[in-house]
Amino acid sequence: MSKLSQRIRKAVRVEAAPMGFGVSAARKPGPTMLLLARLPADDAKRLKEAAEKGADAVLFDGGDASRLKLRDNTDILWGALVPEARADTVGRLKEAGADFLAFAPEGTGADVLLDEQLGFVLAVNSDLSDAALRVLEGLPLDALLLPRLDSPLTVRRQLDLRRLYLLSRTPLLVEVPPDVEASQLRVLRESGVAGVVVDGKSGWNRLQSVRAAIDGLPPGRGRPREERAEAILPAAVAAAVPEEEEEEDY
């Protein structure tokens, strides 16, 4: 399991309120969303600075990202967005110290997903069909990466996000403008977004503000009731399951 996957699980986990007195009862819950800084591959020198500004991870953009040599920063989580990934790309990324690979489905070899050490993030658009989203649940994906979401966030767009999340059963990463408001972050979180991506070029000086907004979000309301619902058997399977006969009282 990648470190990105572990951090996503920790962020979206709904922890019960501590009981009792003392320090444990006053424990402050951790952030409920991740912050990723998106940087060009030739700007690797900013990796450490991005972490100091509050980024949970760095996403390097471009095919050259697979040639980065950042093993000296193994404590800082980073990955690469590569348009066309191959098995040798995965090997170079792991050698460089990457934790995850973000990729588009077109042009990426299916054998890439056979690797069990690297995390995978699939870059998609919101126009995927319901059937395609359900199929995604069977792939070893840490998250889905969506294009930039501009303000204002409408109810229609929120419904689109919830559809993506509930059908794919996969956490979402969404790129947002650097001046995103805390209220919009909260709506995104309740729609299945586990992390937001901020462009390092235009939003470098706003990373700390976004970090503060995420840290200041109130606790989540818990998992949507749709996610807690029991699995529904296909009609053919359901028909084959015999109903239990009620015992007669004597």
- 26-37 confidence digits (pLDDT tens): 456 678 999 999
Chain segment 69-85, per-residue pLDDT in tens: 665 555 789 999 988 88
How far is Cα 40 from Cα 48, in angstroms, rounded to an integer? 14
Q: What is the pLDDT at residue 31?
A: 85
Q: What is the pLDDT at residue 5?
A: 94
How far is Cα 66 from Cα 53, in angstroms, rounded to an integer? 24
The H or E element spanning position 118 is none
- What's the mean per-residue pLDDT of the chain? 81
Q: Given CATH 3.40.50.300, say whether it is the number of domain 3-222.
A: no
| Helices (H), ranges, 70-224 | 87-96, 130-136, 155-168, 182-190, 200-203, 207-215
Q: What is the pLDDT at residue 65?
A: 60
Total count of residues recorded for the chain: 250
Name the percent of the chain lying above pLDDT 70: 76
Q: What is the pLDDT at residue 71?
A: 57
- What is the residue extent of each domain of the chain? 3-222
The stretches in the chain having pLDDT less than 50 are 16-17, 23-26, 222-239, 241, 250
Cis omega (within 30 of 0) on the bond before 152?
yes
